[in-house]
Amino acid sequence: MLVARKNLVQEKTRLALSVGGVALAIMLVLILDGLQVGMFRQITAYLDHSEGSIVVAQDGVVNLLGASSLLPPETQEQVAGVRGVDEVVPILSQFVILDLHGKKQPVYLVGYTPEVGGGPWEIVDGREPRNDKELIFDRVLADRHGLGIGDRVEVMDRQFRIVGVSSGTASWMTSFIFLQKSAVEGLLSAPGATSFLLVSVDEGREPEAVLTRIARLTDLEVLWKSEMASNDTRLFARFFSAPVRLMTGIAFLVGALVVGLVIYTATVERQREFGALKALGAPNRLLYLVVLAQALLAALLGTAIGTGLAQAASAVIMAVRPQFLVVLEADMTGRAAVIGLAMALVAALLPARVVAQLAPAEVFRR
Amino acid sequence: MTRLAIRNLFQSRTRLAISVGGVALALMLILALEAIVSWIEQRVTAYIDASGADIWVSQEGVRNMHMASSSFSASLAASVARVAGVASVTPILYRTNVVLAGEDRTISYIIGLPDRADAGLPWIIRSGRANPGRGGAVIDQGIAEASGIGLGDTVEILGDEFEVVGLSGGTASLTNSIAFISRRDFARVLADPRVVSFLLVRLEPGQVPQDVARRIEAQVPRVTAQTREAFAAQERKVVRDMSTDLMAIMNLVGFLIGLAVMSLTVYTATLGRRAEYGVLKALGASNRDLYTTVGIQAVVSVGLGLFVGLAFTLALSAVVPQFASNMGLVVSPLSVAEAAAASLVFAGAAAVLPIRQVRRLDPAMVFRGK
């Protein structure tokens, strides 16, 4: 261990590079993981905060954000009449594209009835809309475009006045904006239309039994709110998990490459010393341990620094681009440590090969 | 010096492979991501490009299809048809919904076509017919195959059952597919069946689309009329604007990785050859000669990395569509230029540390056996 430590710290720049390489890789892995977890939280934010435990959608529609749903007009009354149903909150929702300062910005319009529910869960400024020409805008999107209470925005060529600003309703891809349901009906030329019903169950009633009873109504998709949230997460994970996994893999490879290269160079440079150790009777196993210990030291140090860097970098990212939510959970640090150790193992392979092939007589020929 | 630099570089093949591999990985990240977005841009406008319409008419203020909703009175189709220069008007309905094929659900653009459609039909038909007609549906062949569905089988769209009467090609992407049913079947689920989503307008020969689009907007109230090219450009802008932030982060990651790997490999290579550089200095080589050597090594490593990264991305773009009909990569000259520019920065930055090292090198060191 002493040989390993001395060998590693002898050249300070090299040590800094190897630890820095691992730290960079670990930071990338953690931030990518954190971005993915944050994105999933943002995707399900509306369902996580809205009323009820059951969602009723058009037959075949199992996502809130993936597909538009349109319920037959009589559905709300039918569902409200089911035994065990306490409250039914209708919403009419649709993705639309806003033109904000020359940029196309997708937003998710939620048409709701302020007296009944289905609107924003945290209004940080202003109030709820009182007529069809008012709306609540997401805070992050408003800040990015310099909009505030009293400003006007154009949605599908109609002017609306911002009367409220909501928090927790943004993601990097889209933001939620809230209007009266009748206003969205007008925008979509769909009078009386409803996309989803958010259903609460009477206290003391068995929720499963209520869900089964609602599902007996024809041509409807009835599912738990948590189930729909998982479906949305799965849908978006299908698009984004592959690139994130690819990048995590690349970050891992780079970390391993960096440590491997540094230890390899250090080992090649110390060939004579290793040869001398071999000539003095040190078995290959001991020399492997020296190489592995160097890799482990660099990886552990890099993991610790990388974890700290990830915390700092995520704070910077969220301050500069508040539409990104980076969630660093405790188990991620554990995973980062495992990744760091794996990097060390992979990194030790090349230098170990050099040591194994070393002839003890080498030292006497130089 | 060039010969010396290259021989020196190729002497340690393992180190060269690591260095080239690292740069290739980083550049591949930049190239592949850009290629995927370019492919999505192309695919997202495939229906518009192949629609056969010269002009797209939508609800006022709606300028694209993706993540948008357009609906206006069907009676406006007659007003548009009366505008000078218009040869035909095909009203279609459109909504993002689900195609339920067997147990598989696919998010799809559902297009409702009239019985006699002059535009907007599926443009590649692998089997069956193009116009679905009442009770029929045309779905993407890849989606059908994945679900074990064929002609004559039943799928569920907008909550109703339809018989598959045609299988189309080029109608699936990473995010969704396109399915076609009849406009009358589609209208059954609408809150107001008297609306349409878009009017696909074909022009008489010799007409200029921009002029006719202006005439439509002037003569028909509350609609937006755009040429096919302008409509497709708006669609591409939605994808580009949505992916800008993500691309910026991914490119930064790729850039940092490339920078770290290149700097480290060139630095360690120089460190490993310290004694040789000392000999060269002792023999009278100037610092400038040694800088040139380091610089050439950096440029050659990065150049090889760019070549390998580009070759691998091109190979991916050829292989991926063979295995997944809903995924592809389009490598654009612009993205190659971006990657090349990033490579130059890698090489420049990578040479900085070793140059400092070489400058401080004491020629006498070699005689002391260091």
Give the residue on B whose Cα is nearest the Cα of A69: B97
Selected residues 28-87 of chain A with any CB under 8 Å from a CB in chain B:
28, 32, 35, 58-63, 66-68, 70, 73
Please answer yes or no on whether B268 and A350 come within 8 Å at the CB atom: no
| Residue B325 pLDDT class (50, 70, 90 cuts) | low
Instruction: Report the residue of A39, A62, A189, A223 to disrupt the B interface, i.e. the one with the largest count of B CBs within 10 Å.
Output: A189
CB-nearest to B29 from A35, A67, A250 is A250
Q: Is residue A230 part of a domain?
A: no
Selected residues 138-177 of chain A with any CB under 8 Å from a CB in chain B:
154-158, 172-173
CB-nearest to B25 from A239, A253, A262 is A253
CB-nearest to B253 from A21, A28, A68 is A28
CB-nearest to B96 from A68, A188, A250 is A68
Q: Is residue A133 part of a domain?
A: yes
pLDDT in tens, B30-83: 787 778 778 877 778 889 999 999 999 999 989 998 888 899 999 999 999 999
CB-nearest to A156 from B15, B61, B245 is B61
Two tokens, residue B276 = 């040789």
* Min Cα separation B271/chain A (Å): 8
Q: What secondary structure letter does DSSP report for B173?
A: -
Which of A184, A218, A252 lies at the terminal end of a domain, its last residue? A218
Q: Is residue A227 part of a domain?
A: no
Please answer yes or no on whether A158 and B246 come within 8 Å at the CB atom: no
CA–CA separation, B132 and B116 (whole Å): 11
Percent of chain B topping pLDDT 70: 91
Residue A177: enclosing H or E segment and its boundaries?
A: strand A175-180
Q: Which residue has the tokens 């007409």?
A: B207
Check: CB of residue A75 under 8 Å from CB of residue A220: yes
Check: CB of residue A110 under 8 Å from CB of residue A187: no
Question: What is the mean pLDDT of the segment spanning B197-203?
Answer: 97
Question: What is the mean pLDDT of the segment spanning B125-130?
Answer: 95
Most confident of A172-181, B3-12, B261-270, B335-344: A172-181
pLDDT in tens, A28-52: 888 888 888 888 889 899 999 999 9
What single string gives the DSSP state of each residue in B338-359? HHHHHHHHHHHHHHHHHHHHHH
Give the residue on A whose Cα is nearest the Cα of B36: A243
CB-nearest to B98 from A60, A97, A187 is A60
Verdict on whether the full-model pTM lies above 0.90: no
Same domain for A19 and A142? no
Same domain for A210 and A293? no
Q: Tell me, what's the ipTM?
A: 0.70
Same domain for A198 and A320? no
Please answer yes or no on whether B191 and A239 come within 8 Å at the CB atom: no
* Min Cα separation A4/chain B (Å): 18
Same domain for A37 and A171? no
pLDDT in tens, B150-172: 999 999 998 889 999 999 998 98
Two tokens, residue B205 = 């020969």
The reported pLDDT for the residue numbered A321 is: 82
Please answer yes or no on whether B26 and A254 come within 8 Å at the CB atom: yes
* Min Cα separation B261/chain A (Å): 7
What single string gives the DSSP state of each residue in B272-324? HTHHHHHHHHHTT--HHHHHHHHHHHHHHHHHHHHHHHHHHHHHHHHHHHHH-
B187 vs A contacts (CB less than 8 Å)? none
B62 vs A contacts (CB less than 8 Å)? 156-157
CB-nearest to A247 from B18, B29, B271 is B29
Please answer yes or no on whether B107 and A67 come within 8 Å at the CB atom: yes
Nearest one of A317, A328, A302 to B253, comparing CA atoms: A317
Q: Is residue A200 part of a domain?
A: yes
Please answer yes or no on whether A156 and B60 come within 8 Å at the CB atom: yes
Same domain for A150 and A184? yes
Question: What is the mean pLDDT of the segment spanning A157-166?
Answer: 95
Domain interval for residue A344: 2-43+240-365
How big, in percent rounded to 5, are the helix, strand and coil portions of chain B? 55, 20, 25
Q: Which amino acid is it at B101? A: A
A270 vs B contacts (CB less than 8 Å)? none
Selected residues 200-239 of chain A with any CB under 8 Å from a CB in chain B:
219, 235, 239
CB-nearest to B64 from A11, A21, A97 is A97
CB-nearest to A350 from B14, B33, B260 is B14
Same domain for A248 and A333? yes
Q: Is residue A56 part of a domain?
A: no
Same domain for A293 and A262? yes
Question: What is the mean pLDDT of the segment spanning A78-97?
Answer: 94
* Min Cα separation A97/chain B (Å): 6
The domain tally of chain A equals: 2
B253 vs A contacts (CB less than 8 Å)? 28, 32, 247, 251
Residue A263 has pLDDT above 80, yes or no: no
- A270 interface with B at CB cutoff 8 Å: no
Pairing of strands A175-180, A134-138: antiparallel
CA–CA separation, B271 and B259 (whole Å): 18
CA–CA separation, A137 and B216 (whole Å): 34
CA–CA separation, A67 and B98 (whole Å): 7
Which of the pair, A305 or B350, is modelled with greater confidence?
A: A305
Same domain for A260 and A320? yes
Same domain for A34 and A119? no
Nearest one of B91, B301, B109, B330 to B199, comparing CA atoms: B91
A269 vs B contacts (CB less than 8 Å)? 271-272
Q: Which amino acid is it at B286? A: S
Pairing of strands B160-168, B136-140: parallel
Instruction: Report the residue of A56, A65, A104, A259 to disrupt the B interface, i.e. the one with the largest count of B CBs within 10 Å.
Output: A104
Please answer yes or no on whether B271 and A192 come within 8 Å at the CB atom: no
Q: Is residue A60 part of a domain?
A: no
Which of the pair, A365 or B168, is modelled with greater confidence?
A: B168
What single string gives the DSSP state of each residue in A202-236? PTTS-HHHHHHHHHTSTTEEEEEHHHHHHHHHHHH
Q: Is residue A173 part of a domain?
A: yes
Q: Is residue A176 part of a domain?
A: yes
Same domain for A78 and A151? yes
Q: Is B169 exposed, middle or buried (0-12, 13-18, 19+ CB in 10 A)?
A: middle
Residue A277 has pLDDT above 50, yes or no: yes
Residue A235 has pLDDT above 90, yes or no: no
Same domain for A169 and A205? yes
Same domain for A141 and A10? no
Two tokens, residue A196 = 């989803």
